[in-house]
Structure formats: C-alpha cells, structure tokens
Amino acid sequence: MSDGDDKEPTGPAGAPLLRVRDVHRRFGSGTATVHALRGVSFDVAAGTMVALVGRSGSGKTTLLNVVGGLDRPDAGSLHVDGTDVTALDEDGLSRLRRGRVAYVFQTFGLIPVLSAAENVGAPLRLARLPSAERERRVELLLELVGLADHARQRPAELSGGQQQRVAIARALAASPRLLIADEPTGQLDAETGLSVMALLRGVVESEGVTALVSTHDPVMMALADRVIRISDGRVDG
C-alpha cells in the first residue's frame, strides 16, 4: 500500500493527476441522513486549474475534504498522482497532506506569532529540510507571491490579501502536486481577490501545480482551464 510520501509521479504517463470515481459521502442516519456527495466522478489533468462551482450546501467543501484526505468517502475511489487515497491509513493520509496535497483556506490559517517567512517555512521545518535550503525556498516563494519585502512582518501587520499570499506560499513550500483552495478570496474585497486569483493562475503555470479551487467568483471561473459545477452532491462538467 502506498504511504503517500513519495514525491515522484506514480501514475502512468498521460494519466490524470486526480481521478475521482463514483464517490459517495453521507452524514447522519435514518431520516436525518444528508447525502453530501452522490456518485461523483471526474478527472483533473496535471498542470491545470479547475474551478469547482456551486451554491452553499451543494457539497463543494465535502468534496474538497474527501479529495485531500481530510475526510473519507463512504463509497467510491480517489487517486491523486497515482496513489489510491481511499486505501491509505491515517499515517499515509498525513504524509499525503504533507507532501503531495496542500490547502489554502479563506481564513488564511497563519500562525500569529510567526513572521511571513517563518509561516512559509513551517512545513519545511517539519520536514527537517536543512536550514540553508529552507531559507532559499522561503525566499523564492515570497518573491513568487510578491512579498519579498514583507518577510519579517507578522500576519497582524499584513493586509488580508497579503496574508492570503503568505498562505499560498506556505501551501507551495513542499512542492505539492495538488493545491486545494476552498473559497480563497471569500474574505477579500473584489480588487484584492482578483490579484489573488491571478496569482493562483500564475502559480499553476510557474510551479506546474494542479489546482482545484472552489469559488463563486465569475472571474476565477474565467481564469480556470475548466469549470466543474456541483449541485445537490452531483457534478456536471
């Protein structure tokens, strides 16, 4: 069984980076059962950005959590970069999330007492990357997101848009294959949100990462290579 921590591609050449097949997820029981996902199937090609679109309660967040190994489906299968996510144990899922899959949330999730550089470097410190190599990677990522001059500032000293940029840089620290972003511009004004969306588009192209982004924003949909619509736990697109 794959443990999810090998960063080399494991799928056959030309295979989708993400393959979701007949995934179901239910919450509750009896008459109180909620069918959050109802037989969801789709593929995502490597190096593309896909917008996941749907109303609140449509199943977007549940789908993202299942894809990223934060939740387990009741039925169906998921493969990320050739790894069967549904076959992993808890340790394997943890390694998957530390290596191949990364998250960006609308609440940023930065550590308040750490500087921007320290937040970005936190995953690399956990991975025990040598100090000099870690510092080079952090510097490169802060440059990528346009925050090289804000490396020593803490989250409270940064704007919302800057904090989200730090969160994106942190998500990219371990060079993930798949970047999952759940409403990444939900707490930002329109202008700042646009700059963050453009950054995500640029990251897909410059870092070669694959991105699955849930959004209500038509601009993000326009920037995406593909739009998947979800309604009542089913997808179309």
Worst-scoring range by mean pLDDT, 14-18, 47-51, 183-187?
Answer: 14-18
Percent of the chain, pLDDT > 70? 93
Residues 53 and 165 in one domain: no
**Residue 149 clears pLDDT 60, i.e. is over it:** yes
14 has pLDDT over 70: no
What pLDDT score was predicted for residue 237? 59
Full domain range(s) for residue 235: 13-100+176-237
Tallying the residues shown for the chain, one arrives at: 237
- CB 101, CB 7: distance < 8 Å: no
DSSP 3-state of 155: helix
CATH of the domain at 209: 3.40.50.300
Coil, strand or helix at 221: helix
Do residues 80 and 141 both lie within one domain?
no
Looking at residues 73-102, what average pLDDT do you find? 92
Identify the domain boundary among 156, 174, 192. 174
pLDDT at 10 over 60: no
The residue written with tokens 């952090």 in the block is 138
Residue 134 lies in a domain: yes
Instruction: Please give the Cα distance from 11 to 28 (Å, whole number).
Output: 35
Last residue of a domain, one of 142, 174, 206: 174
Q: Is residue 3 part of a domain?
A: no
**Confidence at residue 236, expressed as pLDDT on a 0 to 100 scale:** 80
> The tokens of 210 are what?
């694959």
**Based on the domain organization, do 116 and 93 belong to the same domain?**
no
The model's confidence at residue 127, banded by pLDDT at 50, 70 and 90, is confident
Q: Please indicate, yes or no, whether residues 115 and 232 belong to a single structural domain of this protein.
A: no
d(CA 236, CA 40): 9
Q: Are residues 168 and 205 in the same domain?
A: no
Domain count within the chain: 2
Residues 232, 117 share a domain: no
Q: For the chain, give the percent of residues with pLDDT over 90.
A: 63
Stretch among 15-19, 71-75, 147-151 having the lowest mean pLDDT? 15-19
Query: What are the CA-CA distances from residue 180 to residues 28, 88, 113, 157, 175 (Å)?
Result: 26, 19, 25, 26, 13
Whether the per-residue pLDDT at 5 is higher than 80: the answer is no
Report, as an integer, the average pLDDT of 93-117. 90
Query: Quick one: average pLDDT of 8-17?
Result: 58
Last residue of a domain, one of 149, 174, 199: 174
71 and 17 within one domain: yes
Specify the pairing of strand 226-231 against strand 49-53.
Answer: parallel
On whether residue 2 sits in a domain, the answer given is no
